[in-house]
Structure 1
Amino acid sequence: MKKKYFFKFFIGISFLAVQMMFGQTTTWTGSAWDNGDPSITTDAIVLSGTCNVTSNTSFKTITVQADAILNVDNAATITVQDNIQVLGTGQLILNNNTSLLQNNSSATNTGNIKYRRNATPMRQYEYTYWGAPVAGQVLNVFSPLTLADKFYSYNANVGVNNWVIENQNNVIVPGKGYAIRAPQGYTTTPQVFSGEFMGVPNNGNISANVVGFNPALLNYNLLANPYPSAINVITLLDNTNLGTLYFWTHNSAITNNVFTSSDYAIRTRTTGIAAVTGGTAPGLNIAAGQAFFASAGTTTTINFTNAMRVAGNNSQFYRNAQNVPLNYYVHLNLTNTLGAFKQIAFGYQEDATDGYDFGSDALASTEGAIRFYSLINSLSLGFGIQARAYPWSINDVVPLGYTTTQAGTFDIAIDHFDTFFADKDIFLEDTSNGTFHNLKNSAFTFTTAIGTFDTRFKIHYQDTSLSNDDFAGIENSVYVFKENNQPKIVSTQSNIASVIVYDMLGRVVFSKDKVNASEVVLSNLIANNQALIIKTTLENNVTVAKKFIF
């Protein structure tokens, strides 16, 4: 009889008790964990009250019981080895910029979580590109004050290539992007939309159909990060057939019911450029809830995977990362006094060629009063991002082009460059008069008529208007040495105009303008026993760079 009663007793033990009897378990009892803080080998049970997680925390499994709350805040990442269960009225809340990672791509989640995401501030009639990090989210439940006909997806098929109205009662498909208009009642003053996704957290492989890119049609696919964590751009691009990503910034207010595609920032696997209307360039990660346009090499099905997910890096809303090819880029801006702006990037990448490389080269924006781009061989297309073959050669030449509907005065200037270029000159050749201008020293100002000019400008890394003998003579006429334990520069052929000193990270550690003398002592340069690049610009507009230990 005792055995029978024991068997009945054992069968009646709750699932919760079984967890506590077998394996390491810790339970939140309303104010503390009864068996120590959770870890990747610990089953965590939130039994009652509210458990606030404000720093990165790991769990083997998570079970949130009815009426209990697990609240994640402060941009923390929770990492779960296996399953997540939210039972009854229990709540697992992930607040803005927090992340949920799951190691086991086969783990099965049950019950709904809440994932909260703040959009970039919007004005009336403006849209944000969204994707759901959970399964089961209905469009109009996510944004109930958006008008019924203002939910869109995009059909990139050749016969359509246009926006498609989505039924407001449709469930958001994981991996698919949607354009959702701001709620009714928004005004011309930008306002943050605080969205809340509710559903089962997405985990594991998630497929999405894409259409092959046709440059003549510009048929991009509207996709979305399907996870409640950021995903890595490089891992995404290296493990799919996607090439270039475009992120909508909605920097510009709508005019006459029309938006401008100048608001797209562009990203390839190695670099990004800001939208024509300004803002920041896209980084290496795509935040949770973020949708984006992407070119695809072929019409196929791609897979988002857990390997693409990353901890943190979840605040910029709009193969493995260590496989990034060696690459170095220069970013240039073209501007005028009327507020026109274009940014381009060109550089050197170990897996690139001097021809067109899908996934590394990105077409330039065609919007705005001005277009600015680099050119590739005989292609008639202009590129906003161009990857060229590595290793770099001092003899390389990068052709630049521009189109403008505004006549007047413009500037071409360096926005930033990788450390690789810290000790290298970057000359802009103006073929209209044969002059060379070192963009490292200052912006280049020029005037232009309206039109397209694809042969006027070229980038060089040496002033080829000088002969080799001239270069050698100038290089040998500038001396850098220590005198009384201070760096001294002497020029024997031309007076010194200015000096800039860089450390090996490309940071300026010293500069001096208006020297107007044949020699200068860098008395304010602090000795730190480090390698420096000392760039001396002479009054004949020639720059000499020399390495110096000080």
Structure 2
Amino acid sequence: MRQLFVFILVFIFFPFSFYGQSIFENTITGTNPDESNPYNIGQIVDPDITVSGIGRGSGIFGINSNDRYNARSWKSDVLDPNAYFEFTVIPNAGNKIDFVSFEYTGQISVNGPTLFVFRSNVDGFTTDIGSVSATGASVSLSDINFQNITSSITFRLYGWAALTGTGTFSINDFEFNGIVSCATPQIPALPETIIGCSSTSFELNWSASSNASNYFIDVATDSGFVTNLTDYQNKDLGNTLSETVAGLAAGKTYYVRLRSANNCEISANSNTIKVAPPETVYNGAWSNGTPDANKNIRFSDDFNMDTSFEACSCQIDDGVAVHVDSGVVFKLENSLDVQGSGALTFEDSASLVQVNDGAVNTGKIIYKRITAPMKNFDFTYWSSPVKDQVLKDLSPNTLWDKYFSFANGNWVIESGTNTMNTAGKGFIIRVPKPNTVYGNGEYWTGATYAQPVQFIGVPYNGVITIPTQGIGMDNLIGNPYPSAIDADLFMANPNNASLINGALYFWTHNTAITQSGSFYVYNSDDYAVYTLTGGTGTMAAPSTGGFGSIPDGKIAAGQSFFVGSKAVGSFEFNNSMRVSASGSNSQFFKMAKVKNLANSEKSRVWLSLTNCQGVFKQLLVGYIKGATNEMDNLYDGISFGGNKYVDFYSVNDGEILTIQGRGLPFLLTDKVTLGFKTTIDGAFEIKMDQVDGLLAKRTIYLEDKDAGILHDFKKGSYSFSTSKGEYNNRFVLRYLPNLKTILMHDIVGNAKHQLEIYINESQLSLKSNDENLSAVFVYDLKGKLIFQEKNIHKQQFIISDLIPKQQILIVKTVFDNNASRTDKIIF
């Protein structure tokens, strides 16, 4: 009795575990069901499966009968593989079937088939299942082949051995019993995925998991999936086998995992894959070859970078120290990640250059700078290349009230505890007092001090904007990156070009007035000036090796400068302005001797006004593509007036210009008015410091209108004396002597040589500035040859046989290299 009670309880609570239940049945009622193939009217089906109904093969034909599914044409001798009744059962996605039995009731006519078998497609309909007959049967489906069915399965009931072809066999009702339950979805597998350095998306593809109706994905920036991407934490992908993940940071490493699911269950996580560019790891040696622009690099051991490096992205592990030597350029296409107590130290003049504006840096660097030599009371103009740099931490021994920023036309005292944020903001900091040993060991004595400092913080990268002070205001801004930037690219940026009023002005470190015996020696405090035309300096005799005087267009890391604004807006810095050439960041305030640019579109001359006590003021006149002979915002630089003792400038449209850009083509007849101011009496000289481009082969003159002197700079400097005052019309820069030029224009020819044609004492003079003259032919307007000379073979030739008549003549000049040109003149 006790055993019976236990059995009853088990049956009550687990009835279908042993016997199942009907999952697909049909009592087949109605008129002529055989007219449908398959027939499914009246069938009862489990909601988690799909069925075909009852159908028949092509070897038999339906015959009208009510309340049963009847057929004829059964074979008499052998089993016909096309003569059968058929049932197809399909579990819906995420479900499985454990079959228990198949039951049916059958009926035959007198001449109907007498032999029957029941088979399935599990083995291609070859193995008999149970025992079946014409009148019906209950077939067990407990065999393992019919358990855990997750895909379509088809059963067939074959009949044969009919007495005649007209004999019939029908199924009057049938029932499949079993258990339909959730199928455990297969854990998906993800393939390894490698992306390019600049990729901001990737496509993920995977194979279908059995029993899965949909998939869930996680994408994170860490292997622990703590920091997931927005919209990629447990994202439901639906029933797909691919996903494109977009909006990524180029060069970053991402981690991906997948789960399959159905209506009942979600699988465990797939394998985790790392999606990133190829990586090489340094642990005493490189794991995957030396770094290049297509590889991420990771330092897991200390490393000294003594040569320039390029990589996709960089990670420095916790506790690892990487040192970048002076002058070395570390270039990354994308981001920098300094983890934990890892350290990345850049020596003075080293550079960190990044290409991708969207790259986000994490972790701090140490960026060292050494100032240009400073005197007591001098200031350095700074801009921080890292975030959250504190002023006092940069120069801890500066007096408390000697940290300044600039706003609304005035210097603003900054607390030493303030940070140097925002990016691109300029500051000035005074040199610590000399002859004092400070608590951190800093000490200097003597005439000058090149102060070592270090910035510590997360390095700035990408697009950085800083608001202007307004219309007609001066702005103290600076290079926000730990690398040099190109001043030309900064100025030519369309946004900046619409805001900049004139030039960039760089503070230089010159001494104040000092006494020597009964004389005062002047070393002018001043600003070096730079425009797209070029730069002017504040010291004589610039040299490439030291702290020269002429800005070469590279603004060093940490350096700030003044720039005027003509509109309201924000100045912009971006990575395209950064300079990756080795040596471009090698000197703070980067002043260097300008190289000869004979093959460029810049032809320039630098003049300086000096005296024997050290006064120095330089100007620049340049002929350059993009400039005109009018005032040009980015090519002309107004004198900043920082020099206490003299100012030397060109004059155009009433403006006094330290730099004047003039238009192309260059004309020999061009004249440029020069002026000067002085607060001291005495003797001065004007010197031609440098010349480049086309002007390098020209004779350049200085006309002193007061003295009536035309000075050729090839003969040296021009000396004169003056009293205090302002003189804006005394000097003229010119390129022809006091001769009457009669060259109208070059009308034809293949020669690129520059030719001067002018009248000198009623004689026609021709002068080539490069190639020797070979022959000269002169024609009147009727084409008559009125003069010729061959075999000249020198650069200058004078025609004395022609009489001036103020007529138009054609001069054909042939050079020794067989090039020629034809010019129209008035003579």
Distance in 2, Cα, partners of 1:280 & 1:347: 18
Q: 1:424 to 1:269 in 2, by over 3 A?
A: same
Match of 2:535 among 253, 272, 275: 272
Q: For 1:270 and 1:458, locate their aligned partners in 2 and report how far apart those are by CA, in whole Å.
A: 20
Partners of 2:460 and 2:770 in 1: how far apart?
61
Shift of residue 419 of structure 1?
2.7
Whether the 8 Å CA contact 1:534–1:548 is kept in 2: the answer is no
CA distance in 2, matches of 1:204, 1:479: 48
Query: What is the alpha-carbon distance in structure 2 between the residues aligned to residue 402 and residue 58 of structure 1?
Result: 49
The answer on whether the counterparts of 2:380 and 2:431 sit within 8 Å (CA) in structure 1 is yes
Query: In the alignment, is residue 251 of structure 1 matched against residue 510 of structure 2?
Result: yes
Q: Which amino acid counterpart does residue 355 of structure 2 have in structure 1?
A: N
Question: SS of the counterpart of 1:440?
Answer: helix
1:143 aligned to 395, 407, 417, which one?
Answer: 395
Structure 2 CA distance for partners of 1:97 and 1:253, relative to 1, 3 Å: same
CA distance in 2, matches of 1:109, 1:302: 22
Residue 329 of structure 2 corresponds to residue 53 of structure 1: no
- The unaligned stretches of length 5 or more in structure 1 are 319-323, 488-531, 537-545
AA in 2 matched with 1:125? F
CA drift at 1:260: 8.8
CA contact (8 A) 1:375 1:383 kept: yes
Deviation (angstroms), 1:189 = 2.9
Q: 1:430-509, aligned counterparts within 5 Å? A: 430-465=704-739, 468-470=758-760, 473=763, 475=765
* Residue 591 (structure 2) pairs with residue 315 (structure 1): no
- More deviation, 421-430/167-176: 421-430
CA displacement at 1:76 relative to structure 2: 1.2
| Higher alpha-carbon deviation: 331-340 or 181-190 | 181-190
1:354 and 2:644 are equivalent in the alignment: no
Compared CA separation, residues 16 and 375, structure 1 to 2 (3 A)? closer
User: 1-side partners of 2:277 and 2:717: how far apart?
Assistant: 66
Q: CA separation in 1, counterparts of 2:587 and 2:671?
A: 35
Task: Give the secondary structure class of the aligned counterpart of 1:469.
Answer: strand
Pair 533,266 (structure 1): closer, same or farther in 2 beyond 3 Å:
farther
Asked whether 1:418 is paired with 2:677, we answer: no
Identity of aligned residues (%): 33
Give the aligned residue type for 1:359.
Answer: L
Aligned equivalent of 2:427: 178
Tell me which of 492, 495, 502 is aligned to 1:238: 492
Name the amino acid aligned to 2:419. V
Contact 2:604 2:621 in 1 (8 A): yes
Larger radius of gyration: 2
Q: Secondary structure at the match of 1:422?
A: helix
Asked whether 1:227 is paired with 2:473, we answer: no
Q: 1:447 to 1:74 in 2, by over 3 A?
A: closer
Shift of 1:177: 0.7
> In structure 2, what is the equivalent of residue 189 of structure 1?
447
The residue type equivalent to 1:126 in the other structure is: D
1:329 offset after TM fit, Å?
A: 1.1
Query: TM-score normalised to the size of structure 2?
Result: 0.52
- Segment drifting more, 146-155 vs 437-446: 437-446
Aligned equivalents of 1:362 and 1:441: distance in 2?
A: 29
> Which of 276-285 and 223-232 deviates more?
276-285
Could you tell me how far apart the structure 1 residues matched to 2:509 and 2:707 are? 40
For 1:493-529, what per-residue CA distance to the aligned partner results, in whole angstroms no more than 9, with x for missing partners?
xxxxxxxxxxxxxxxxxxxxxxxxxxxxxxxxxxxxx
SS at match of 2:525: helix
Q: Structure 2 regions of 5+ residues with no counterpart? A: 1-183, 191-221, 227-252, 256-271, 437-443, 516-521, 542-547, 590-598, 742-757, 774-792, 798-813, 818-827
Does the 8 Å CA contact 1:43/1:59 hold for their aligned counterparts? yes
Structure 1 residue 394 corresponds to structure 2 residue 668 = yes
- The residue that corresponds to 1:369 in the other structure is 645
The code of the aligned residue for 2:626 comes to D
Deviates more, 1:405-414 or 1:303-312: 405-414
**Which residue in 2 is equivalent to 1:521?**
none
Residue identity in the other structure for 1:73: D
> Counterparts of 2:816 and 2:692 in 1: how far apart (Å)?
20
Give, in whole Å, the separation in 2 of the partners of 1:11 and 1:86.
Answer: 17
- Are 1:125 and 1:254, in contact at CA under 8 Å, matched by a contact in 2? no
Query: Could you say if the C-alpha distance between residues 107 and 391 of structure 1 is closer, same or farther in structure 2, counting changes exceeding 3 Å?
Result: same
Asked if 1:44 corresponds to 2:297, the answer is yes
1:202 equivalent in structure 2: 460
Task: Evaluate the alpha carbon distance shift between residue 335 and residue 391 of structure 1 in structure 2; reply closer, same or farther with a 3 A threshold.
Answer: same
- Where 1:375 maps in the other structure, the secondary structure is strand
Q: RMSD over aligned Cα, in angstroms?
A: 3.6
Which residue identity is paired with 1:329? Answer: R
How far apart are the structure 2 equivalents of 1:533 and 1:225?
52
Higher RCO by CA contacts (8 Å cutoff, separation 6 or greater): 1
2:570 to 284, 301, 313: 301
| Residue pair 1:124, 1:188 contacting (<8 A) in 2 also | no
Give deviations 1:139-191, integer Å, cap 9, x for gaps.
11122222222111011x2xxx1110112111112100110112343444312
Indicate conservation of the 8 Å contact 1:245/1:293, yes or no.
yes
Deviations 1:186-242 (A, max 9, x none): 44431221111111110111111112463xxxx421111000111000110011122
Q: Secondary structure of the equivalent of 2:697?
A: coil
Contact 1:325–1:350 (CA under 8 A) maintained in structure 2: no
> Residue in 1 aligned with 2:259?
none
Task: Report if the CA contact (8 A) 1:436-1:465 is conserved.
Answer: no
Aligned length: 471
* 1:405 matches 2:405: no
Post-superposition Cα deviations, 1:224-278, rounded to whole Å, max 9, x if no partner, equal: 100011100011001112231111111214889xx99733111112200011677
Distance in 2, matches of 1:250 and 1:296, equals 25
Structure 1 residue 34: deviation in Å?
Answer: 2.1
Instruction: Give the deviation of 1:462 after TM superposition.
Output: 1.0
SS in 2 for 1:82: coil
Name the stretch that deviates more: 352-361 or 229-238. 352-361
Secondary structure of the 1:134 match is coil
* Structure 1 residues 248 and 254: alpha-carbon distance in aligned structure 2, compared to 1, 3 A threshold: farther
State the Cα deviation string for residues 396-430 of structure 1 (Å, max 9, x = none).
Answer: 11111122333333222211111311332212222
The verdict on how the C-alpha distance between 1:435 and 1:12 changes in structure 2, with shifts beyond 3 A counting, is closer
1:175–1:225 Cα contact (<8 Å) kept: yes
> Do the aligned partners of residues 140 and 70 (structure 1) sit closer, same or farther apart at CA in structure 2, a change above 3 Å counting?
same
Whole-angstrom distance in 1 between the partners of 2:524 and 2:514: 12
Q: Does 1:211 align with 2:486?
A: no
Q: Aligned-pair distance for 1:22?
A: 5.9
Alpha carbons of structure 1 residues 231 and 446: separation in structure 2 relative to 1, 3 Å:
same
Aligned partner letter, 1:177:
G
Letter in 2 for 1:249: T
Contact 2:703 2:734 in 1 (8 A): yes
Match in the other structure for 1:493: none
The DSSP-based 3-state class of the residue aligned with 1:135 is coil
**Please, which of 353, 356, 362 is the counterpart of residue 101 of structure 1?**
353
Is the contact made by 2:510 and 2:523 (CA closer than 8 Å) also made in structure 1?
A: no
Deviates more, 1:247-256 or 1:412-421: 247-256
